[in-house]
Amino acid sequence: MAGLISYCFRNGEGRILSAKNESISMLPASNMKIISGYAAYRTLGPQFTLKTKFACEDHRLLISGDPCPLLGSEDLSKMLSEMNVKSLDNMVFDNTVMDNSQFGYGWEIDDIGACYQSRIVPYAINEGCTDSADNIISPLLQSEEVHAKCRYSVPDQYYNFSYSIGKVLGAKNGPTYEINEVENVGNVYVHQERLTDILKHIEIHSCNFSIEVLTKYLSYIEGERKGNWNDSVEIIGKMISKMGINTEGIRIVDGSGLSRHNLLTTSFLSEFIWNVGKEGDYDFIHFLPSPGNGTISGRLADLKEMNINAKTGSFSYCSSLSGYIGKLDVYFSIFLNNFNLDDSEIASKVDDTLRSFVNGNL
């Protein structure tokens, strides 16, 4: 099948300046994170902080409260030291925050074991990533090292958490663990993660784990129910309806874009980003990478002076790039699907499309 290219560029008033195949439904890949990330930003608010509770009772560690998607090995060391924990026999992970579904609808079975498709749970260490296919636990890393050093995911997030604690405590093995409801506890250590820090991490590193944790969390925080994809997608849909955007040909099933069942149009996504700007939420737009950092660190260097913030997206035969050109006050979305080329070659075609617009050739 021949490759299909779609793009849509809008000015500051939302009017289309240039477009091609803009109403055709296509796979957005990680450009989905613009929508789900903004849903978290609007639903929770930019000042929101996630608070995870750790309590130790009789050599038993109880974990409850909000998810902790950015929790790393160094956070464990700090926490256990401040709690004066020397040894543990057992751990309990609270089961009231999310349902037990760890993989989204339409995720590829061939991607199980890859770092970009970690199992989605509320409480994890190093995003459930590891540095070797033979290593079923995470190495002790600084949080900023995870995306640089890890290419695989652990088979059991809770075992990984337990074993990581064992390593920090100098034990041969981790404590036993169970997944159950954690009742209110007394003295607790509170690990805090600011929503804005999580969103920056997601958009810069294109972190699937963190955005899916946030996506499921939306339905927990919005109602008395376990967080789940179906109810969270409904919340995202209601937000889009309030924006008044035409959703014909749009289908959203997860937050990361991993599912091949997500469908967007470039007309829709460029209008969505324009609405973000219209709301004055440029802080969110600036979470998206700019040339020279994040997922576009090696791309678009020649357009750096255009003040571009854009989210990349890719999987086999597909590539996408959507965002904002600050110098031109232009909102854009570009999708390429079904190109039988290497990932870098497809990404180059996306970048060339953006260059053509900037240079007045579209």
Sequence-ordered alpha helix ranges (H) in 223-293: 229-243, 266-278, 282-285
**Domain enclosing residue 164, as ranges:** 49-199
Q: What is the pLDDT of residue 186?
A: 72
The pLDDT value recorded for residue 362 is 84
Q: Distance (Å, rounded) from C-alpha 21 to C-alpha 239?
A: 25
Cross-strand partners of 150: none
What is the model's pLDDT at position 57?
87
The answer to whether residues 208 and 321 belong to one domain is yes
**Does 106 share its domain with 222?**
no
Structure tokens at 46: 């930019």
DSSP 15-30: -EEEEESTTS-B--GG
State which residues of the chain have pLDDT below 50: 1
Of 178, 199, 220, which closes a domain?
Answer: 199
Place of tokens 């600084």: 142
Each residue's pLDDT tens digit, 148-177 = 788 889 999 999 999 999 999 999 889 999
- Is the domain of 115 the same as that of 33? no
Question: Rounded to whole angstroms, how far apart are CA atoms 138 and 217?
Answer: 24
Outline where 223-338 has alpha helix (H): 229-243, 266-278, 282-285
Strands 152-153 and 129-130, by their bridges, are antiparallel
In a shared domain, residues 182 and 38? no
Six token digits for residue 191 = 């690990």
Q: What is the CATH number of the domain that holds 35?
A: 3.40.710.10
Say how many domains are in the chain: 2
Tell whether 191 and 207 lie within a shared domain.
Answer: no
Q: Using an 8 Å Cβ cutoff, are 294 and 204 in contact?
A: yes
What pLDDT, on the 0 to 100 scale, is given for residue 143? 63
Same-domain check for residues 195 and 133: yes
| CA-wise closest residue to 274 among 325, 331, 323 | 331
- In the chain the first and final C-alpha atoms are separated, in Å, by 25
CA-to-CA distance for 123 and 179, rounded, in angstroms? Answer: 11
pLDDT at residue 27 in the model: 97
Say yes or no: 154 and 27 in one domain.
no
Of 121, 69, 118, 123, which Cα lies nearest the Cα of 91? 123
Cβ neighbours of residue 144 under 8 Å, at least 6 residues apart? none
Residue-level pLDDT at 142: 64
